[in-house]
Amino acid sequence: MYDAPLRKTDVEAQTTKIAARDVQVYYGDTHAIKDVSVDLLDKTVTSFIGPSGCGKSTFLRCLNRMNDTIDICRVEGLISLDGQDIYEKRVDPVQLRAKVGMVFQKPNPFPKSIYDNVAYGPKIHGMARNKAELDEIVEKALRRGAIWDEVKDRLDAPGTGLSGGQQQRLCIARAVATEPEVLLMDEPCSALDPIATAQVEELIDELREQYSVVIVTHSMQQAARVSQKTAFFHLGNLVEYGETSQIFTNPTDPRTESYITGRIG
């Protein structure tokens, strides 16, 4: 199949954070991802778009080996983080996931307090030496998640009691609390109302300063709003990858054009 050429037209010279080469994913007998090769840049928001079932979420979950938790899923090809193959035998997926955090489609706060939700990651990774340090990490993460002002007076309240948008920002705060290098977001706004979506999108833009962010989205407008790079998936193939503005205004592949103009999808 046809692979999107990797364009080196970036304004700022940015380093590649994650590189994927000829990645194949199988669910039992189903070939879900075919020959995907892509370079994801540091300090950049990359969005994956495409019709439902095109494999964009599956590919995203390969990037921090979340697919390991599914028995029948098999991944082939090479995916590297900072040049290190993440599927190599010696790599501990647990350490990998500490570096490549993830935010999910549905907000999924643990049934614990807001504080414990955020503190959970730092605790299991031993990032704090004492309570004061932990407090500091939690506050920083909540601030970075743009939710500190709303919850600072009720850190002991259960995380499940927040509104949908707040819950999702809490989950983002929870993800950044472990100081990841890459943040994967699987349709983070699909369960949110427009106002909450706007808040989360704003947050994503801020996160770009420190992380490489990869976001899967159904909404082309959202991709256009938040991302600098866009990859279009179709039937398990990466059809086109490039600057967001270029993909949306001047796609090279006819399938991309059909999708963007609403003829397929």
Q: Is 175 in the site for other proteins (CB under 8 A)?
A: yes
Helix (H) or strand (E) run with residue 39 in it = strand 30-41
Using CB under 8 A, pick the residue from 55, 101, 145, 251 that binds other proteins: 101
CA dihedral angle for residue 35, residue 41, residue 45, residue 49, rounded to 10 degrees: -10
* Minimum distance of other proteins from residue 164's CB (angstroms): 13
Q: Please report where in the chains the tokens 């190599």 appear, as a residue.
A: 88
Listed residue (146, 150, 162) closest to 113, CA to CA: 162
Per-residue x/- marks for other proteins, 105-134, CB under 8 A?
A: -x-xxxxx-------xx-xxxxxxxxx-xx
Closest CA to 4 of 34, 36, 33: 36
The residue within the footprint of other proteins, chosen from 21, 34, 43, 99 (CB under 8 A), is 99
Instruction: Name the residue nearer to other proteins (CB basis): 12 or 88.
Output: 88
The reply to whether 140 sits near other proteins by the rule CB under 8 A is no
Name the nearest CA neighbour of 173 among 161, 191, 155, 187: 155
- CA dihedral sign, ordered 11, 83, 124, 103: positive
Residues 8, 28, 29, 90: which binds other proteins (CB under 8 A)? 90
Q: What is the spatial distance between Cα 101 and Cα 253, in angstroms, rounded to a whole number?
A: 32
What tokens were used for 251?
A: 């796609």
Residue 98, interface with other proteins (CB under 8 A)?
Answer: yes
Nearer to other proteins, 109 or 236 (CB): 109
Q: Return the number of the residue (96 or 162) whose C-beta is nearest other proteins.
A: 96
**Residue 43 near other proteins by CB under 8 A:** no
**Residue 172: strand, helix, or coil:** helix
Minimum CB separation of residue 220 from other proteins in Å reads 26
Other C-beta atoms within 10 Å of 102: how many? 20
Least distance in angstroms from the C-beta of 242 to other proteins: 28
Q: Site residues (CB under 8 A) for other proteins? A: 64, 66, 69, 71, 81, 84, 86, 88, 90-92, 94-99, 101-104, 106, 108-112, 120-121, 123-131, 133-134, 171, 174-175, 178-179, 184
